[in-house]
Amino acid sequence: MVRVKGGLLRGAREGGVLAWRGIPYAAPPVGPLRFRAPQPVQEWDGIRDCSRFGPAACQLPRRRATAFRPASSEDCLTLNVLAPAVGRRTKLSLPVMVFIHGGGYSVGSSQDFPGQGEAFVRTGRVIYVNFNYRLGTLGYLDFSRYSTPQRTFERNLGLRDQVAALEWVRDNIRSFGGNPNNVTVFGESAGGNAAITLMATPSADGLFSRVIAQSPPPGAAYSPELAASWAAEFLFELRRLTADTESEPADLLAHADVAHLLAAALTIQTRTPDARPGTFPLAPVVDGDFLPERPVDAFRHGRAHRVPLIIGTNDREGSAFRGRVDILPTSTPRIQALFASAPADVHKAMRQAYPGLHTKRTSSDFGGDFAFWFPSVTVGSLHSRVAPVHFYRFDLAPRLMHVIGLDATHGIELFALFNHVDTAFARTATSLGGRRVFIGAGERMRRHWLHFACTGVVDSSWPAYTETDRQTLIIDEVDRVESDPRGRRREAWQQFLPDL
């Protein structure tokens, strides 16, 4: 049994790991708490069975028929803890790794990648935590302008949930053998953006000791004016779906069916990449309060939390964003819109950095670099002025991924990192070869992440990233270090997006 704020927990032994699933870290955000900041967890009677995951946040079904789809609910604020099944937990004080899932702030859950975290915990060196947070309409649209004396709508709910989960870790992780003063936050994609944003969130100060940001889009945090325009568009679509043209906005939002909320959000998501290229409507809002400024600006002025940072991207981030997930500025009209907003005298340098920009491959790389790589380089450069930074690029992809033109695309490193290599996707991806080296890359990556989480520094073979030499670890069949890889592209982007 384990006691936490709220009551007693019963977990389960899963091989060499002790697991507690579905632990509430805040009150259910339902009824009058919809669109409100997370509230303290409610106490329960007796012993709570924590052998199963809690529901995922509300989201639309995955588009791939074979994709795993957990049950979802507005009552989703739960987390999971994995600990080594050795010794007395009360006598341990292990480092803690807290993972934030990705999914564009619209899909995903703590159940992504079955067995997630076990490869870390089985080493006996760390406690592993992951959690659900509110997504989409319920977590990332800003309806504060529709607040009334009777009903308050707060901003940045998903971000507030993440802070609440970290506060739970601080207050309770000793019961599982973890050290609340040695917490590493890491995440991928939207989870990487969350990690970067938390570094610029004042209320997160002191809740973590270091950060690992995998393929983050650091520029995805927008002004209240832009967020308000998305909220207005959403409300128009919601009225259309519900055929309700008379209810006050506060009443409509408070009582709308979740299916209608999800459908209206999908319309806005689908429209935005063409209407406002380079933006995404489900993202943190720079509200001047909970998130006082753009994270990139916090890094620029040295106001981000000064903790050590590992940050990096994959070789070809943009190649996966095709078809129904085509949200990046990769089409000719979207790219032209970005060029129109950039200084005219730098257009030539950008076209030289991306020759053949009209082709599918080059335009995909342009979009991926715009969203992920260059903003990550910018954050790494700025933060290196005040704290240790180490930059990586994941280049390894099984042969089939090269054959189909995806290469080391967005998210592929997670299969290696979490040793998730026996799924249908991973076996198919390695069917033409490359399985052994892919597994090996994951093992090396985990060693780096574990060393960082346990000691606060990286292995001596991985030099620090600075604005002077930009030393970058290239994770490939054989790892290597390069100085300022793709420097020509970086210089072009610095002129093209001087105010990123």
In a domain, residue 100? The reply is: yes
- Mark residue 325 as left, alpha or beta (left: phi above 0; alpha: psi -120 to 50; beta: remaining): alpha
Query: Once rounded to an integer, what is the mean pLDDT over residues 60-87?
Result: 81
- Note whether 363 and 437 are same-domain residues: yes
In a domain, residue 280? The reply is: no
Boundary of a domain, candidates 275, 310, 340:
275
How many domains would you assign to the chain? 2
State residue 88's pLDDT score: 58
Residue 217 burial class via C-beta count within 10 angstroms: exposed 0-12, middle 13-18, buried 19 and up: buried
In a domain, residue 145? The reply is: yes
State residue 427's pLDDT score: 83
Residue whose pair of structure tokens reads 């002004």 in the numeric block: 223
What is the domain-level CATH number for residue 106?
A: 3.40.50.1820
- How far apart CA 57 and CA 357 sit, in angstroms, is 38
Q: What is the pTM of this model?
A: 0.97
Q: Which amino acid is at 388?
A: P
- Note whether 250 and 293 are same-domain residues: no
- Note whether 236 and 200 are same-domain residues: no
The count of other CB atoms within 10 Å of the CB of residue 408 is 23
- Note whether 44 and 137 are same-domain residues: yes
Q: Is the pLDDT of residue 420 over 60?
A: yes
Q: Is the pLDDT of residue 89 over 70?
A: no
Q: 168-192: per-residue pLDDT in tens? A: 999 999 999 999 999 999 999 999 9
Boundary of a domain, candidates 275, 309, 340:
275
State residue 173's pLDDT score: 98
- Note whether 311 and 246 are same-domain residues: no
State residue 65's pLDDT score: 40
- Note whether 203 and 337 are same-domain residues: yes
State residue 422's pLDDT score: 81
Give me the percent of the chain exceeding a pLDDT of 90: 91
In a domain, residue 103? The reply is: yes
- Note whether 82 and 104 are same-domain residues: yes
Residue whose pair of structure tokens reads 């570094």 in the numeric block: 199
Mean pLDDT of the chain: 95
Q: Tell me which residues are annotated as active site.
A: 189, 317, 410
Boundary of a domain, candidates 275, 295, 316:
275
363 or 424, which is more confident?
363
Give me the percent of the chain exceeding a pLDDT of 70: 98
- Note whether 356 and 491 are same-domain residues: yes
- Note whether 154 and 292 are same-domain residues: yes
Q: Is the dihedral of CA 466, 467, 468, 470 positive or negative?
A: positive
State residue 68's pLDDT score: 61
Q: 438-490: per-residue pLDDT in tens? A: 999 999 999 999 999 999 999 999 999 999 999 999 999 999 999 999 999 99
- Note whether 211 and 101 are same-domain residues: yes
In a domain, residue 417? The reply is: yes
- Note whether 308 and 238 are same-domain residues: no
In a domain, residue 142? The reply is: yes
Please tell me what DSSP assigns to residue 438: H
State residue 425's pLDDT score: 80
Domain that holds residue 244: 225-275
In a domain, residue 376? The reply is: yes
- Note whether 141 and 271 are same-domain residues: no
Q: Is the pLDDT of residue 66 over 50?
A: no
In a domain, residue 299? The reply is: yes
- How far apart CA 404 and CA 400 sit, in angstroms, is 6
